[in-house]
């Protein structure tokens, strides 16, 4: 796989998983609203995918070693990876009660992160277990912080 696609896909997948799950858990703990969580997922899938793709474009442009086609390849790969991954989290919310959907989404996120971690570790010839644990740890921190931010928002602004 070309490096430009690998960069875009790995960034888009990781961002799609962590951002979407963090948003879902934060909205769940703050609102307990299926509509708010689903709306958040769809917003992340579209607006944040475009934003991340643009950020990737600017990041790749800032490197003097990148050619114009590689810049666009990374940008497009980032957009579609983020869009598709984020949208996969909508299915449990649509099909299940919200609490179950959050648990299923957490498991789905761990599976996806485990898979991308293995691919990256294999590509870099590094420990797969270390990569998985490192990436799961980062994602877990994001989810825990997002959960408590939602709890605090509910506590201080829940009656607005």
Pick the range with the lowest mean pLDDT from 57-61, 65-69, 74-78, 91-95.
65-69
Q: What is the mean pLDDT of residues 68-73?
A: 88
Q: Where does the pLDDT of residue 41 fall: very low under 50, low under 70, confident under 90, or very high at 90 and above?
A: very high
Contact assessment for residue 79 and residue 47, using Cβ atoms and an 8 Å cutoff: no
* CA 71 centroid distance within chain: 21
State both tokens at 28: 């769940």
pLDDT in tens, 113-131: 999 999 999 999 999 999 9
Q: Whole-model pTM?
A: 0.92
State both tokens at 12: 């888009």
pLDDT, mean over the chain? 94
Q: What is the mean pLDDT of residues 39-47?
A: 97
Q: What is the mean pLDDT of residues 18-27?
A: 97
Rounded to 5°, the CA angle 80-85-91 comes to 130
pLDDT in tens, 86-112: 999 999 999 999 999 999 999 999 999
Asked whether the predicted pLDDT for residue 66 surpasses 80, the reply is no
pLDDT at position 2 is: 85
């Amino acid at each position: 796989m070309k490096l430009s696609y690998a960069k875009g896909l790995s960034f888009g997948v990781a961002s799609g998983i962590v951002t979407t799950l963090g948003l879902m858990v934060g909205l769940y703990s703050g609102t307990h609203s299926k509509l708010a969580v689903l709306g958040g997922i769809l917003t992340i899938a579209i607006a944040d995918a475009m934003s991340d793709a643009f950020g990737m474009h600017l990041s790749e442009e800032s490197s003097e070693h990148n050619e114009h086609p590689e810049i666009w390849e990374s940008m497009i790969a980032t957009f579609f990876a983020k869009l598709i991954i984020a949208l996969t989290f909508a299915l449990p919310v649509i099909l299940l009660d919200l609490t179950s959907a959050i648990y299923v989404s957490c498991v789905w996120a761990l599976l996806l992160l485990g898979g991308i971690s293995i691919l990256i570790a294999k590509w870099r010839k590094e420990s797969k277990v270390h990569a998985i644990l490192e990436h799961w740890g980062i994602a877990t921190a994001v989810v825990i912080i997002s959960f408590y931010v939602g709890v605090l928002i509910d506590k201080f602004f829940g009656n607005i």
